[in-house]
Amino acid sequence: DAVGLGAYGRKVAAFALGSALGGLAGGLYAFNFQYLQPDSFRYDLMVILLLGVVLGGRQSLWGAFTGAALIALLPNLLSSRPLFEAFAMVGFAASLAAGWHSVRHGGKPGFRVLAPVVSMGLLVAGSFLVTSLEDWRKGVFALMLFSVVVGLPEGIMGFVGKSLLRLFRVAGPPLPAAARLDEVLPAVGGGGALCLTVTGLGCRFGGLTALDGLCMEVHEGRIHGLIGPNGSGKSTAINVISGLYRATEGQVALDGRPLAGGNMTRASRAGIARTFQNLQLFKEMTALENVMVALRGLYRLPLPAVMAGFGRGEERLAGARAMALLELVGLAGLAAVRARDLPYGAQRFLEIARALAGRPRLLILDEPAAGLSSPDARLLAGIIERIRDRGIAIILIEHHMDIVSRLCDQVTVLDGGRVIASGSPQQVQRDPEVIRAYLGTEGDAEPAHA
């Protein structure tokens, strides 16, 4: 929702498409057998279908094909004890080899290594000790499913594909050349025109007043700091502005147009982008794909045309534009790396690049320096300055006062949901209320005991 995609609508569409395919499969099944009975669709069948998706690999078409072929063979495995014993021993040997390989390359024998070994060991023991394998089919499926989910989260085809790439040293697909940044993120006037107006904003949760009468103005090409102690209402303020919460009173206007609260998708499409305190990346996607998915105004072909292969041109253009944004935040060299494998600082920068993919008028950064090392914090400051120079209005929530003092043109200080000071960084740092509520005073410290 924060990048304007509308997660709810897409989930409903995906569910509807999956249901349609399931209905088609059911119709073909009935046509083939000319007979249906409830016993044909038991719990076991659902587990087998899930096992097939996970076992083959849910991220590729070949994974679905492999999984379907394997589950088609499962009844034969359970009906033939020698065949099942051989299958279980091969699985046990494979889990031992994978665990040993992981430990040899510096990994620790943790849960992800030991769980598949134990599960496949139980499967081997059961293949020799159990009288009737058919009576224990649910347990067999459960052990197999658990082993694959923990040990091979990418499925068999994902593991085989990565192994073949390493074995034959096949280079990945070339990265697209970056587009011109002015095409992707056009610089706006930067003359300080009014961008965001917040008037008398209030937000209550039952009897708790989280925000009370907030007023502030943010101008294009300016960085507006929003600071205060923990629980002062900063997060509530930006949650209301970005549409995550609905205000109980007051108004938020972007470029003079009032925004309807309580809908992040509409706020994003209106021109508001944000990052989060807790990273909200697509962990299984590469850095390039994370930015591509958030690009706006580019994907126009309908889904059937894309599935038929006519979306390659849009995909190439999206890749070039995403590379330009990755260059802006210094991640062009890590474009092909999955988000989960990026260093923490790079993940922070990636979230900013993805937020910029929607060409926002206003960018909200929620504690972007939290947990960063000093070198990464300096890199972050440079990134924010480059974004500001393109005329984008920025709201910065940050506890690092050195970053606030360096970057912010105007600062609003909250305490208890109310504004206690507003002005330049130097002015608010000298304000007695700010010193008392946020920075602390000597009188607030407990006396030292000898």
Residue 156 · residue 293 · CB < 8 Å: no
Mean pLDDT of the chain: 86
Give dist(CA 118, CA 26) in Å, integer: 37
Q: By three-state DSSP, how is residue 418 classified?
A: strand
Q: What's residue 278's pLDDT?
A: 87
Question: Residue 366's beta-bridge partner residues?
Answer: 397
- Exposed/middle/buried for 211, CB within 10 Å: 0-12, 13-18, 19+? buried
In the numeric block, which tokens belong to residue 336? 């092909």
Phi-psi region of 360 (alpha: psi -120 to 50; beta: other; left: phi over 0): beta
Does the pLDDT value for residue 130 go beyond 50? Answer: yes
Q: Three-state SS for 273?
A: strand
Listed residue (226, 229, 223) closest to 239, CA to CA: 226
Which is higher by pLDDT, 396 or 137? 396
What pLDDT digit, counting tens, does each position of 364-404 carry?
A: 999 999 999 999 999 999 999 999 999 999 999 998 889 99
Q: What is the pLDDT of residue 446?
A: 45
pLDDT over 60 at 226, yes or no: yes
Sheet of 393-397: strand order equals 272-274, 362-366, 393-397, 223-227, 410-415, 418-423
Q: What average pLDDT does the segment 115-126 reach? A: 89
Handedness of CA 158, 163, 168, 171 (dihedral sign): positive
User: At residue 443, does pLDDT exceed 70?
Assistant: no
For the chain, the farthest-separated pair of C-alpha atoms sits apart, in whole angstroms, at 91
The pLDDT, as a whole number, for residue 368 is: 94
Q: Which of 123-137, 352-366, 386-400, 417-431 is predicted with the least confidence, judged by mean pLDDT?
A: 123-137
Tokens of 25: 């499969």
* Cβ(179)–Cβ(323) below 8 Å: yes
The model scores a pTM over 0.85: no
Nearest to 231 by CA among 431, 438, 446: 438
Please report the pLDDT score of residue 449 as a whole number: 40
- Mean pLDDT within 323-328: 96
pLDDT at position 427, please? Answer: 92
If pLDDT is split at 50, 70 and 90, which confidence band does 445 have? Answer: very low
Is residue 133 within 8 A of residue 140, CB to CB? The reply is yes
Evaluate whether 262 touches 255 at the Cβ level (below 8 Å): no
Look at phi and psi of residue 116 and say left if phi exceeds 0, alpha if psi is from -120 to 50, else beta. alpha
The predicted pLDDT at position 450 comes to 31
Q: What confidence tier does 296 reach under pLDDT thresholds 50, 70, 90?
A: confident
- In this predicted structure, what is the pLDDT of residue 447? 42
Q: How far apart are CA 203 and CA 237, in angstroms?
A: 8
SS3 44: helix
3 state SS of 245: coil
Residues in the chain: 450
Tens-place pLDDT, residues 23-75? 898 888 888 888 777 777 777 777 778 888 888 888 778 888 888 888 888 77
Maximum mean pLDDT: which of 121-130, 131-140, 383-392: 383-392
Query: Does the pLDDT value for residue 230 go beyond 80?
Result: yes
Q: What homologous superfamily does CATH list for 191-441? A: P-loop containing nucleotide triphosphate hydrolases (3.40.50.300)
pLDDT at 424: 93
Beta bridge partners of 194: 219
353: tokens are 């690049």
Which of 315, 298, 297, 295 shows the shortest CA–CA distance to 306? 315
Written as one string, the DSSP assignment of 132-149 is: -TGGGHHHHHHHHHHHHH
- Angle of CA points 238, 242, 245, to nearest 5°: 80
CA distance 93 to 179: 49
Instruction: Return the top range by mean pLDDT from 10-19, 410-419, 441-450.
Output: 410-419
| 353 pLDDT more than 80 | yes
